Structure 1
Amino acid sequence: MTKSRLNFNDIKIDKVPTVYPSLEEMMPPNNIDQFINNPEIYNLGMKYGMIKIAAPQGFRQALVNNLENKETDTNFKIKIREQVLNELELSNRSNKLFDKQLEAFDKISGVEHDFNIRTKTDDNGSEISLYDLYVKIMNTYNSQDVDDCGRFVKKPTVLGKRSINKINAEDQQNTQKKRRSSRIKNISNHSTNPSVEAYDNNGKNSDCDQSEWLVPDPKTCRFLQMPLKHGKVQPSSHALKFWKSIGSNYAEVYLTYQKHLERYITALHKYEGRKPWSSKETFKSNGISILHHISEDPVKDEPPIEETTEMVEDMCKICQRGKKLYQCEYCLETYHKSCIPYLSGKKGKLCDNCFLGNFEYGFQELEKKVSIKEFKSMCKDNVDDFDEVNDLLNIEKQFWNIVYGDERVKTYYGADVHNDTKNYISGFENQPSESIRNSFLNLMNLPNDEHTLLPLLTSITGISLPWCYFGAKFSVFGVHLEDHFTYSVNYQFSGHPKIWYCIKISDSDKFHEYIKQKYPDFIRRQKDILHQLTMTISPYDIDLHERIGIKFFKACQKPYEYIITFPKCWHFGFNLGFNHNEAVNFILPNWIPYAIEADNVYRRDGRKNVFDIYKLIQKNIVVNNNISYSEKLFEHVKRVIENIQLSVEILITEKLVDKYTPEKLDLSPYSNSYLVNEVSCDSCKKICSFAMVLVFKDYQLHDNKKTLNLNQILQYSQKVNDKSQDHDYENLDNFISNHSDNEHKALYLYCVGCYVKNHSRFKNYLTTEIVYMDDELNRSDVFVKDELYGLPVSLEPKHEVL
């Protein structure tokens, strides 16, 4: 429903504090750990989520931008993203995506499509879109307020958010599992993997986040019936209750539903294929956004296309194989039916991605890379003569009204520009001043600072090398947390200001919960949306403040100023014109608890790790001589080891054997290879720490399991292709998304957490094997090893720095 969704008059956003260090405070022997953990700095950071640092005059005078003389250098190129501003706000994007789905459905149905339908719900100007109406129907039908027939019922007695009927059903199921040992039952019920907790939801009215969403049948669903008197027939009380809840103009809303939405929901109800919101089935995304499809205009008076078994000969978009393909009439891509099922209509076939909606979205990238000077020439209408005190709020109003509006405004962002070629990495390279060269706030020094934990990681761009960002007017960096909730530091070299917003760290979980409740349909389709940096939300959003009262802060960053974000701080913003910024992440010892929390969040959201936090902890223990500190760290490792030991007990029970010894795979030859980070779980996407569970589909491969090396395992599980050594690391994620869940897998790869939680679902347990991944860290003398498996189970009473 739409009214004015922004309030700039009553919602006040305070600015984050600015710190003014001296040049000496930014130089050795001072270091980043001392600087951040200074009580004044640390308390400000934890209170606001981020702080601004204004470099002293001596620093500004001595600093030379290494990239300034490379504006026309062809060796430094910028990859440009095109951003459509009103597609970045989730309400707008959801409506646009759903409208495209309806257009695709109407196309194969032979019906002329009406775009962007909105209906007034009352006399006050409130409106409802077709997507909002669709979500309300789905939410109502899948709530505890109605039964299977769509009749409103009295709520059942609830204990701890679960009905007595559900508890009784669970008790009955539990009586059938008495053969399982109590230890297995207790630990598996407390698995830390939320992403797989809902496989057994059978009830329509389950409250679980991952419960199955069912689609009502408009013909029989009582609350979807006509809320008007028809002849002598009075309207259903259930229909009146539902439609009146939308607004006083409910009759017109119903007629809009009947004309534009009823046919689609009926087809959705009858569709028997996999659905993107299903928790029991794996929906295969084609990886492309329906917003970027260029479909052909329907030809009027064209004769209907008869249903045929004849297939197009081309290449399948998903598996890259030919034979027996069909072409989607909307996206015009070709698929195997087994890869992407379809819906048939009068005018042809519609792939399930276009019919059901995958809600994929990404910025379009321009084909040509440009020099800094060329990009600068593209940046028009910069906000010049900007006065922060007098102009900031007016600029914010202009920007957010575009983002929340209907006008389609494009801008460009040269984001995530990274280069590992010497002299082309950063503006901080080649500094003539010794002070700048040695400063811990030189972003080239920070990743290798011995007072941080980053030197324990191999080189990861953006984590251990700076990234360059080139902004244009109103270009956006989306709402996000840093990878693994790390610290980040951003420095502006030149150009127009960058406006930052952040959310108070203590409100971080509230914000995620708000997005999940506000956009349930979106989260079910794209549960890692908040990790994608493709959405934004205004801190002046009325609904956000009225629902949960989240506290926002803002900052205006100008040249020679740093922004430091603290762990688990949501942040986002926009640029006022062309500018050049650089950023890098860093991690300090006090970050470890946030890292463990981030690991669990990644599992919940199906987000792939950037690095293995447990291996980083292990390395930290090996080089640390503080026994008390190391023991606290090892408690995190112990929980993973216990899950591995439990998985062995489970497999012994499943295989009906007295003893089982896991296979051992030596990872030492891969210590500097990206392949180690590709050992990720098919279910939760987490990097497998210390061990992995392999479920073989190919029996011959299972018989030869002892001869498999890491590269072969990753090939057979479709993590990498058979030319992985020539494969660019940043392209691997694209390969995985298209190939990790198709019928050509020879084996499936899981982390032990997912196996412990879901082992009862594995039908082929006879070809299930646990593989312990050995390496030099595990063999370190710092750890006491398990005699049977060689796993690190505790620390030696005393250990020295190695």
Structure 2
Amino acid sequence: MVELEHIPILSVSQSEMEDPIGFLSKPSVRLLGHKYGMIKLVPHEDFKPPLSIDQENFKFRVRLQYLNELNILNRGRLFMMKQLNNYYLRGKRRPDFQLAKPFLELPGGKVYFYDLFIAVVRFFNQDIKKESQSSGLSYSGRKRPRSRRLGDEEQSRDTSELIMAPLSSISDNMALWKQISSVLNASADELRSTFLQVLAPYYDFMQRKMEAHGGHASLLSNVIYSEEFPKSLLNDSEDNDSAEDDDDEEGCTMCSRTSHQSRTILCDSCDKPFHIFCLDPPLNEVPRGKWVCNNCIFGNGYYGFKEENKFYSRKEFQAKCQEFDTELWPNGDKLEDLEELERMFWGKVYQIERSSPIRYGADIHNAGPGEMTGFPTAEFVPDQIQNDPGEMEKYKEYITHPMNLVNLPSAKGSLLSIFGRKISGMTVPWMYIGSTFSTFCWHLEDQYTLSANYQHEGDPKVWYSIPESSCEKFNELMRNIAPDLFQKQPDLLHQLVTLIAPYDEKFQKANISCFKAVQYPGEYIVTFPKCYHSGFNTGYNFNEAVNFTLDLWLPYGVEATRDYIHTGKRCVFDMWELMLTVLVEYIENPKKFDEALVRKCHAELLRMFNQEIKTLDQLGSVLATQNLATGFTRRHIDLNTHVDVRVTVSQNTGYDDEYIHDVENDSDHDGDDDIFCSACKTICTFAFVVHRKNSCTTKRRRHMEAMSPGQWNRLAEKGDMQILCAKDYFNMVEKADVDQANDADDSDADPIQQFKHDEVFYIRQPDEIRCILQTAQRKIDSMLR
């Protein structure tokens, strides 16, 4: 293996431990964090917080990890085999034809069907790849269309495409087969023959299906359906240890209705029900024989971990880890050489055959005393410490120590404390109890925040870091390896289910900077903004992690909010609400925040707010009705300034009392604090637009203004309406106008009619925000005098 440079190890004094944000904000430390992405902190020798877990009540479930399926290339290959088998299983194709392996043995070696399929598709997308590289975009095999702009803000999501050429362009294309022969290191004739025998019918089916959905449609995006509870093609039913019996009748996957059972068909791959008239194209009758749904043929790209039903205590899991180690090393001679363990780990990741599952107690977030953290807390004190006055005094010091991960998010200088609410996994630590070869896959921290991970006990944890400087190269590499998976799952790298070894030949050729760390008990690993990291455990260990910020983080938080729009990932918290709160607290106490931080918050908020108001003004002719949403819990802002805001309240919601009552009593989303755009999934900070898909009216009116964010989100999920941010609503209205202008058969129609029942709801009064911005600006200016 290529030797990786280790990250810096910094010894931290007692005084530096008392001000962790200040220490990490030092220019010398920040430079190391920027270069390596991670640093390791070794506390002074007197810092030894006891592991404070309630041994009797602390229980946790474990996820099952199949290492071979976490390899991004393996997963693409295994998915392709399943998809091909499902295709040949369906209808009157060749149900007797079933692939037992994802590859074909040729004289020159193995050729994977997935590799051959992607090579063919990529051949016809080379111009797109060149264009994406010349414009500095990450290549996903797709082309970014021209963005329409409102002011300086891009108005479209990344809707770039992979093109599938007709089958007639493939068979006798000698340039294609010559290039693929070079790429796959096999005979062109053998590759062409393999493609025509196995892949050609499937490829042709896919290409025609896509063509029927708009010609140059992006690969699969218009032919697979969205699923609230997707199932992976690699999750066999017998592996579902966490499955629970559900007596409720399952509705049609497409429309959710449970009626028309005689017109319902079950997919022979995922077992989900479908009305035959909901299919595309619809069927006239239930077909005989085997039938497989589109998602199981085209593949939805979904992959997730399963959990065991069993709950483990800490000691029970330690025993399970020992049992597993004995299986790996029957003679009891477990490898102590970390490099040898590392080779074994990546060997298991890169083998395509599935081996026994690895157990990992990840993302443990219990709530009871002695169960929510391994650090000392006032709510739980172990018996042996309660009975020792000297130890009890030390224990109390650890309860309030800034490097106790319960306290770090709210330590002096971290912005996450100003929310006034706890965010599980970010401001509230999660625990991780590992076993040999259990792994955490490549990912960035939510909102690009910093993270701190502390090891309480156990065997070493091996880490890998890709600093910000190589982020785009890494994104490009992963999308180039499996472009179709990113088409189906744009937020794949946010799902923590994907691995590639830093020693991989493709990784090395991509010139990606990558560093390594080995963490031992009593040590902290700190990741800096926009650092991809992954790793594995070399045996049983107990770790804990939490997020926090430095002043340097703010631009990254803004960037994350924008990046998430392109992948459809939801933000964990509202970045704009956080910056607004910074301004309010600055107005109350100018010395609380650094001036540069306040200026950045003010500039970003002013830009965004002006853009929002400009967009809503442009929609004035469409959105004549405005409302104030009062059901949102937001920090009370009192600037001793009277603002007279007149709000027009709509007299027609388009929904009846019974329907809204169902939503109001739906507790599934009661914990939501934010409302999300149905299109881009971003948080609607200042305002949102309700677009009704039909113009239904009601005899009675129930006010919707007082609904909570969770109730609004649930109402949108029911499907009769959309909640849209101002930008996405503007794009929808403009598209309707363009489509009408291009429709010669309906040139007299008024496109605005379909929006006449739509309304805008303000979460915060515009004049209130203007007042905050103006007051903060005056305060900033006065500080310069």
The alignment's C-alpha RMSD in Å is: 3.5
Residues 1:489 and 2:452 are matched in the alignment: yes
Please point out which of 629, 632, 657 is paired with 2:600: 632
- 259-268 or 242-251: bigger deviation: 242-251
Question: Whole-Å Cα distance in 1 between the matches of residues 448 and 696 of structure 2?
Answer: 43
Residues 1:97 and 2:79 are matched in the alignment: yes
Q: Secondary structure at the match of 2:521?
A: coil
Please point out which of 713, 717, 721 is paired with 1:747: 721
Residues 1:411 and 2:358 are matched in the alignment: yes
Q: Name the residue aligned to 1:616.
A: 578
Question: Whole-Å Cα distance in 1 between the matches of residues 124 and 706 of structure 2?
Answer: 47
Question: Whole-Å Cα distance in 2 between the matches of residues 794 and 343 of structure 1?
Answer: 60
Taking every aligned residue pair, what percent have the same amino acid on both sides?
28
1:585 Cα deviation from its structure 2 partner: 0.5
Question: Whole-Å Cα distance in 2 between the matches of residues 64 and 159 of structure 1?
Answer: 54
1:662 Cα deviation from its structure 2 partner: 3.3
Q: Name the residue aligned to 1:292.
A: 235
Structure-2 change in CA distance of 1:596 and 1:702 (3 Å) = farther
Q: Name the residue aligned to 1:559.
A: 521
CA contact (8 A) 1:188 1:756 kept: no
CA contact (8 A) 1:665 1:771 kept: yes
- 322-331 or 681-690: bigger deviation: 322-331
CA contact (8 A) 2:679 2:724 kept: yes
- Normalising by structure 2, report the TM-score: 0.78
Q: Name the residue aligned to 2:690.
A: 694
Q: Secondary structure at the match of 1:26?
A: helix
Q: Name the residue aligned to 2:655.
A: none
Question: Whole-Å Cα distance in 2 between the matches of residues 711 and 459 of structure 1?
Answer: 22
The residue type equivalent to 2:776 in the other structure is L
Q: Secondary structure at the match of 1:397?
A: helix
Q: Name the residue aligned to 1:544.
A: 507
Q: Name the residue aligned to 2:252.
A: 316
Residues 1:59 and 2:47 are matched in the alignment: yes
1:121 Cα deviation from its structure 2 partner: 7.0
1:519 Cα deviation from its structure 2 partner: 1.9
- 14-23 or 76-85: bigger deviation: 14-23
The residue type equivalent to 2:358 in the other structure is T
Residues 1:444 and 2:430 are matched in the alignment: no
Q: Name the residue aligned to 2:6.
A: 15
1:417 Cα deviation from its structure 2 partner: 0.5
Please point out which of 396, 399, 418 is paired with 2:345: 399
- Normalising by structure 1, report the TM-score: 0.77
Q: Name the residue aligned to 2:100.
A: 115
Q: Name the residue aligned to 2:273.
A: 334
- Structure 1: tracts of 5 or more residues without a match: 1-7, 147-154, 163-169, 172-184, 199-209, 226-235, 297-312, 722-738, 786-790
1:284 Cα deviation from its structure 2 partner: 1.8
Please point out which of 678, 681, 701 is paired with 2:677: 681
Question: Whole-Å Cα distance in 1 between the matches of residues 695 and 23 of structure 2?
Answer: 58
Question: Whole-Å Cα distance in 1 between the matches of residues 670 and 351 of structure 2?
Answer: 43
The residue type equivalent to 1:17 in the other structure is P
Residues 1:769 and 2:759 are matched in the alignment: yes
Question: Whole-Å Cα distance in 2 between the matches of residues 342 and 293 of structure 1?
Answer: 28
Please point out which of 49, 57, 62 is paired with 2:37: 49
1:377 Cα deviation from its structure 2 partner: 1.7
Q: How many residues align?
A: 673
- 77-86 or 506-515: bigger deviation: 506-515
Structure-2 change in CA distance of 1:585 and 1:490 (3 Å) = same
Structure-2 change in CA distance of 1:250 and 1:121 (3 Å) = farther
Residues 1:529 and 2:492 are matched in the alignment: yes
Question: Whole-Å Cα distance in 2 between the matches of residues 16 and 653 of structure 1?
Answer: 58
- Structure 2: tracts of 5 or more residues without a match: 138-144, 240-248, 382-391, 637-668, 737-750
1:105 Cα deviation from its structure 2 partner: 1.5
Q: Secondary structure at the match of 1:427?
A: coil
Question: Whole-Å Cα distance in 1 between the matches of residues 521 and 734 of structure 2?
Answer: 58
Superposed, 1:657-672 pairs within 5 Å as 660=624, 662-667=626-631, 669=633
Superposed, 1:253-652 pairs within 5 Å as 253-271=191-209, 277-278=219-220, 283-285=225-227, 287-294=230-237, 315-317=251-253, 320-324=256-260, 325-337=264-276, 341=280, 347-380=289-322, 381-382=324-325, 391-409=337-355, 410-430=357-377, 432=392, 433=394, 434-457=396-419, 458-546=421-509, 548-624=510-586, 625=590, 629-652=597-620
Q: Secondary structure at the match of 1:798?
A: helix
Structure-2 change in CA distance of 1:796 and 1:53 (3 Å) = closer
Question: Whole-Å Cα distance in 1 between the matches of residues 135 and 516 of structure 2?
Answer: 39
1:241 Cα deviation from its structure 2 partner: 4.3
1:647 Cα deviation from its structure 2 partner: 2.1
1:439 Cα deviation from its structure 2 partner: 2.3
CA contact (8 A) 1:417 1:469 kept: yes
The residue type equivalent to 1:66 in the other structure is S
Question: Whole-Å Cα distance in 2 between the matches of residues 526 and 343 of structure 1?
Answer: 26
Question: Whole-Å Cα distance in 2 between the matches of residues 703 and 374 of structure 1?
Answer: 61
CA contact (8 A) 2:632 2:709 kept: no
Q: Secondary structure at the match of 2:203?
A: helix
Question: Whole-Å Cα distance in 1 between the matches of residues 547 and 128 of structure 2?
Answer: 47
CA contact (8 A) 2:602 2:773 kept: no
Structure-2 change in CA distance of 1:367 and 1:761 (3 Å) = farther
Q: Name the residue aligned to 1:35.
A: 23
CA contact (8 A) 2:21 2:412 kept: no
Structure-2 change in CA distance of 1:278 and 1:642 (3 Å) = farther
Q: Name the residue aligned to 1:795.
A: 776
Structure-2 change in CA distance of 1:83 and 1:339 (3 Å) = farther
The residue type equivalent to 1:591 in the other structure is W
Question: Whole-Å Cα distance in 2 between the matches of residues 317 and 699 of structure 1?
Answer: 25
Q: Secondary structure at the match of 2:490?
A: coil
Residues 1:133 and 2:97 are matched in the alignment: no
Q: Secondary structure at the match of 2:498?
A: coil
1:238 Cα deviation from its structure 2 partner: 5.1
Structure-2 change in CA distance of 1:577 and 1:450 (3 Å) = same
Question: Whole-Å Cα distance in 1 between the matches of residues 29 and 596 of structure 2?
Answer: 26
Question: Whole-Å Cα distance in 1 between the matches of residues 363 and 317 of structure 2?
Answer: 14
CA contact (8 A) 2:224 2:300 kept: no
1:443 Cα deviation from its structure 2 partner: 1.0
The residue type equivalent to 2:779 in the other structure is K
1:253 Cα deviation from its structure 2 partner: 1.6
Question: Whole-Å Cα distance in 1 between the matches of residues 775 and 756 of structure 2?
Answer: 32
1:699 Cα deviation from its structure 2 partner: 2.5
CA offsets 1:632-661 (integer angstroms, 9 cap, x no match):
311111222123222223323557xxxx46
CA contact (8 A) 1:471 1:579 kept: yes
Question: Whole-Å Cα distance in 1 between the matches of residues 224 and 571 of structure 2?
Answer: 21
Structure-2 change in CA distance of 1:239 and 1:132 (3 Å) = closer
CA offsets 1:40-79 (integer angstroms, 9 cap, x no match):
322222221111112222112xx21101xx33x1x32112
The residue type equivalent to 1:266 in the other structure is D
Question: Whole-Å Cα distance in 1 between the matches of residues 136 and 448 of structure 2?
Answer: 30
Question: Whole-Å Cα distance in 1 between the matches of residues 364 and 490 of structure 2?
Answer: 27
Question: Whole-Å Cα distance in 2 between the matches of residues 606 and 533 of structure 1?
Answer: 16
Structure-2 change in CA distance of 1:505 and 1:142 (3 Å) = closer
The residue type equivalent to 2:295 in the other structure is N
Question: Whole-Å Cα distance in 1 between the matches of residues 558 and 674 of structure 2?
Answer: 20
1:563 Cα deviation from its structure 2 partner: 0.5
CA contact (8 A) 1:643 1:753 kept: no
Please point out which of 74, 78, 86 is paired with 2:60: 78
1:349 Cα deviation from its structure 2 partner: 2.2
Question: Whole-Å Cα distance in 2 between the matches of residues 436 and 637 of structure 1?
Answer: 38
